[in-house]
Amino acid sequence: MPPLTSAAAVATAWFALRAVLWISACVLLADLITGLVHWAEDHYGDPSWPILGQLVFAPNLEHHEKPRAFLAGGWWGANWPQIIMAVLIAAGTAAVGWLTWQLALVLTLLANANTVHQWAHMTVKETPRLVGWMQRMRLIQGRIHHGGHHGGRRDTAYCALTPWVNPVVDRIGLWRGIETIIQRTTGVKPRVDACVARRELTALER
């Protein structure tokens, strides 16, 4: 291979930098979207609603009650609603010429987000070696970070892909801010998680 000229080297470096920045932006955006969906499920979703109620909200509440139960469902069991949604969006945007590689990447990440979430619920022994390395390198979210959601009042750490977005959105109070706007404009209050409400009631009764 002939040596790169300096102009070609700069162009290659610029291409690589742009690719890294685009990929990072897509990962962080997908992470934020997982947080938005999870937050909405936790505080507004009702299992009695038609279609989405049993499809999305009931499994989410079950996950709070029995956090490791969804490991039994495997990849398809944990991800199928998001996969179908992602395929429909990809097909729709492709039909009108709007499907870019960035959108395809975000949809792929969203379609598989619950697999990263499953990994965060595995024991050290159960975690595949490469996944454990990615968790330790903080490329994806690990069990301690995600445990912050399950162990606390379930009102923080909604994002499920990386350990990078949660600290920022929790610190700026994004979710509480949206809840305040919703309550002021519609009167609808966010629901406190049933497990948390039980836990706090038990503590009060002691």
Give 42 or 179: the residue with its C-beta nearer to Zn ion: 42
- Taking CA 111 as the corner, what is the angle to CA 105 and CA 114, rounded to the nearest 5 degrees? 125
Q: How far is the CB of 52 from Zn ion (least distance, A)?
A: 16
179 interacts with Zn ion by CB under 5 A? no
CB 102 within 8 A of CB 26: yes
What residues have CB less than 8 Å from 42, skipping those under 6 apart? 60, 64, 154, 155, 158, 191, 193
Q: How far apart are CA 68 and CA 127, in angstroms?
A: 13
CB atoms within 10 A of CB 145: 20
Binding residue count for Zn ion, defined by CB under 5 A? 2
Q: With respect to Zn ion, which residue has the nearer C-beta, 63 or 89?
A: 63
Instruction: Using CB positions, name the residue nearest to Zn ion.
Output: 42
Q: Considering only 4-12, 19-27, 38-46, 81-89, which stretch makes contact with Zn ion by CB under 5 A?
A: 38-46
Other Cβ atoms closer than 10 A to 91: 10
Q: Please give the residues from 119 up to 178 whose contact with Zn ion meets the rule CB under 5 A.
A: 154
Question: Could you say which residues in the range 41-100 bind Zn ion, by CB under 5 A?
Answer: 42
Question: In the bound complex, what is the minimum distance in angstroms from residue 193's beta carbon to Zn ion?
Answer: 7
If the CB atoms of residues 151 and 177 are measured against Zn ion, the closer one turns out to be 151
Footprint on this chain of Zn ion (rule: CB under 5 A): 42, 154
